[in-house]
């Protein structure tokens, strides 16, 4: 399989490179998602057997003031990629987010549940999903949750940095989700890319997150405990920690159809935390 990946230095792209070193990885200098036509041209040029888009505008708070720029990267560019892939009958894998939901209730969100994003980032990612489906090509949209790794900026690394300078922490405990290691997301995306080549009828929208379900406070406590940082963590409500972008409270994801279709079991995110801590040390 000749795999083309948009993205080179992000969390998932870095993990993809470890698992598929022979794939073609396009950096921003080679294919800037702010220029969708260039992205489509790259697919026309390379004619791969599968494409994974592992690049995105992920600055959630910044997107509130830069929604147009986020839309260009998160919606226009994936749409252009999807059209090029459909033209050449190439399976296309698009990574999306739990932030397409409004976070109401307590039940895990199913792929078919109606999305209703609360913030600009979620709106642009939802627009990207719509654009990817529009050409009618073979595709898989994989919504993930709370991705972490040893690379880039993420919640786990943020907690470790805070633990070095604080004597106590205040972490929200009413945002609930399923953290997932970027390596597990990369492995899942690769398996789906292979599977869709022989079974295009399995195209669609899927969820993939880690287990067990946890609050941000639970996640933080587990990270610091496993890292040997024993400092008090106080539980607070999201309303006590306002941010420019509204965060959904319930981002539990029902991943059953993903497992049934591709045989990919939800990973234990605590194993991922241990893996990251080993790498960082």
pLDDT digits (tens, 9 = 90+) for 70-80: 999 999 999 99
d(CA 49, CA 3): 6
**Cis-peptide, bond into residue 60, ω within 30° of zero:** no
Mean pLDDT across 114-143 = 97
d(CA 22, CA 3): 8
pLDDT for the residue 166: 87
Which position has the higher pLDDT, 166 or 172?
172
Mean pLDDT across 242-271 = 96
Contact 5, 19 (CB under 8 A): no
Q: Is the pLDDT of residue 134 over 90?
A: yes
Q: Is the pLDDT of residue 1 over 80?
A: no
**3-class DSSP state of 189:** helix
The pLDDT confidence band at residue 132, using thresholds 50, 70 and 90, is: very high
Q: Which of 25, 71, 99, 121 is catalytic?
A: 121
pLDDT for the residue 140: 98
**3-class DSSP state of 205:** strand
The pLDDT confidence band at residue 203, using thresholds 50, 70 and 90, is: very high
How would CATH label the architecture of 3-152+180-209+253-267?
3-Layer(aba) Sandwich (3.40)
Question: What value does the mean pLDDT of the chain take?
Answer: 96
Q: Is the pLDDT of residue 138 over 80?
A: yes
pLDDT digits (tens, 9 = 90+) for 50-105: 999 999 999 999 999 999 999 999 999 999 999 999 999 999 999 999 999 999 99
> Is 121 known to be catalytic?
yes
Contact 125, 56 (CB under 8 A): yes
The pLDDT confidence band at residue 228, using thresholds 50, 70 and 90, is: very high
């Amino acid at each position: 399989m000749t795999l083309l990946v948009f993205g080179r230095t992000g969390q998932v792209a870095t993990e993809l490179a470890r698992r598929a070193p022979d794939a073609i990885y396009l950096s921003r200098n080679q294919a800037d998602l702010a220029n969708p036509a260039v992205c489509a041209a790259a697919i026309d040029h390379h004619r791969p057997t599968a494409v994974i888009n592992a690049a995105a505008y992920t600055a959630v708070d910044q997107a509130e003031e830069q929604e147009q720029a986020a839309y260009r990267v998160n919606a226009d560019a994936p749409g252009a990629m999807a059209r090029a892939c459909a033209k050449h009958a190439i399976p296309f894998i698009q990574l999306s987010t739990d932030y397409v939901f409004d976070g109401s209730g307590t039940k895990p969100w199913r792929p078919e549940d109606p999305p209703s994003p609360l913030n600009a980032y979620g709106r642009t990612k939802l627009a990207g999903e719509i654009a990817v489906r529009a050409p009618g090509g073979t595709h898989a949209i994989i919504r993930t949750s709370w991705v972490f790794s040893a690379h880039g900026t993420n919640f786990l690394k943020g907690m470790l940095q805070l633990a070095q300078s604080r004597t106590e922490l205040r972490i929200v405990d009413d945002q609930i989700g399923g953290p997932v290691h970027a390596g597990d997301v990369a492995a899942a995306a690769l398996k789906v890319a292979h599977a869709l080549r022989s079974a295009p009828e399995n195209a669609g929208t899927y969820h993939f997150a880690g287990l067990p379900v946890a609050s941000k406070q639970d996640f933080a406590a587990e990270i610091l405990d496993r890292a040997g940082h024993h400092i008090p963590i106080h539980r607070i409500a999201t309303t006590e920690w306002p941010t420019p972008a509204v965060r959904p409270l319930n981002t539990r994801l029902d991943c059953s159809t993903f497992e049934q279709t591709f045989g990919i079991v939800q990973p234990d995110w605590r194993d991922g935390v241990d893996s990251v801590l080993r790498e960082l040390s």
